[in-house]
A and B are shown apart, each in its own frame.
Chain A
Amino acid sequence: MVKISNLDKSLSEHPFFEDMDAEIQKIIAGCARNERYEADAIIHHEGDKADRFYLVRGGVVSIELHVPGHEPVVMDSVHEGEVFGWSWIIPPYRNTYDARAVKLTRLVSLDAKCLRKKMKKNHELGYELLKRFIPVMAHRLSASRLQILDVFGSPKQKS
């Protein structure tokens, strides 16, 4: 396990935690750990317990949908400075997609159970995290809508 002071630094340098109060950051760091995935390694599968969420420190993570009888479809790629895995905050806390490292990827993962427990007691912490997660979710929703529109498809491809 990496020392908390290193994790503190990783968190404070990550854009998701920009301008966050140092005390709150320290509380979050208590639930954090560094993780490393080789290219093609699965980080989590759809349906798994959403017991962690992730900050990308380096590398690329692909967000994939399992389509029965077909190859997985890549829906999004998450890069350095971005986050993924918000199912930890939404009951019944199950991942809704597969996450795979495209290349060697370094993440900071946060223990969801630990965070949920702390958020229940410390509403300021809960507010800080939700304030940062909701814009990410809104942005992804908006991007998904644009993807669904299939704006580059020709009328022939769409028919």
Chain B
Amino acid sequence: MSIQAINTDPMLPDLFQIEHIRRELSDTFTLTLAAQDGKTDFQFQPGQFNMLYQFGVGEVPISISGDPARSDRLIHTIRDVGSVTSAMAKLAKGDVIGLRGPYGKPWPVEDMEGQDIVIITGGIGLAPLRPAIYHILANRKKYGKVVLLYGARTPGDILYRKELEKWRGRFDMCVEVTVDNAGREWSGNVGVVPNLVSRARFDPLHTSAMVCGPEIMMHYAIKALNSADVANDQIYVSMERNMKCAVGFCGHCQYGHNFVCKDGPVFRFDRISKIFSVREV
């Protein structure tokens, strides 16, 4: 895979038409985007993001959540949480938005070959990890055990539910889902996602972990991984900060001596562990 910018001017968006909209949850939707100029080769690496531009409202960084092996369309899962994403939630098939990218450092899935893989995620944090899961499953023999631990608020808030069930049905992948609270009709796990780490089976000395979710969830997930003897240099996290330019010019997403947009969003944890718990950063 190679990183190939769609446009040579990093600040100039291309026009993309919404080909399909899938309502995932009450506040979460997935857009399938096709370039208006007919281009069909949008190579990206798992964990990278695009800047999506809702004309007249603003621009937001959104992780690519589709299959990196299928570069003809771009897929983004978006949660309606602010003015831009709220406007995007009202878009219809055929509407046009601006898009520039892909940007950022990816999950180093090729460097993880030969290792057990532990993926810990929650809520919409599964979206930036889905391309990595697709890649690992497409190259399954190159990896050891594959464990996916996913947490959601309630059973009704589980993202990509059908896909999780499909992955759970595979014999070569362990998928555990937990919810923060539930009624009696839910017979699955209840409790926070870091609790699942101690129940998972993997070889801690030969494991690469990928963690994505709210920062406080990542904090506890990393503690659980450390307790299971997974070292910080085996853990990768995807950080989120207020990104504006996406190319390291504006400084809005400065994180210590890094810019999340160009040095991240994926960081090896030992490289940011000192600032991860600094409140002012």
Contact residues on B (Cβ < 8 Å of other chain), bracket? 20 to 34
CA distance A100 to B199 in the complex (A): 20
Query: Of residues 110 to 169 in B, which have CB atoms within 8 Å of A's CB atoms?
Result: 122-123, 151-153, 157
Contacts of A64 in B (CB 8 A): 184
Residue in chain B with minimal CB distance to A102: B187
Q: A72-B183, A142-B220 are in contact. List 18 more A-B contacts (CB 8 A).
A: A63-B190, A71-B183, A73-B181, A73-B182, A74-B182, A74-B183, A74-B184, A75-B190, A77-B190, A79-B199, A102-B187, A146-B194, A146-B220, A147-B180, A147-B192, A151-B214, A152-B122, A157-B27
Is A62 in contact with chain B by the CB < 8 A criterion?
yes
Binding site for A on B (CB under 8 A): 27, 79-81, 122-123, 151-153, 157, 178, 180-184, 186-192, 194-195, 199, 213-214, 216-217, 220
Contacts of A75 in B (CB 8 A): 181, 190-191
Contacts of A151 in B (CB 8 A): 122-123, 180, 213-214, 216-217
Mark A72-92 against chain B: 1 for CB-CB distance below 8 A, else 0: 111111010100000000000
CA distance A75 to B79 in the complex (A): 26
Count contacts between A and B, CB distance < 8 Å: 77
Taking A152-B152, A154-B79 as contacts, is the C-beta distance between A146 and B187 under 8 angstroms? no
Contact residues on A (Cβ < 8 Å of other chain), bracket? 20 to 34
Shortest distance between the CB of B187 and any CB in chain A (Å) = 6
Interface contact A157-B217, CB-CB below 8 Å: no
Contacts of A142 in B (CB 8 A): 220
Shortest distance between the CB of A63 and any CB in chain B (Å) = 8
Contacts of B183 in A (CB 8 A): 71-74
Partner of A76, one of B191, B194, B220: B191
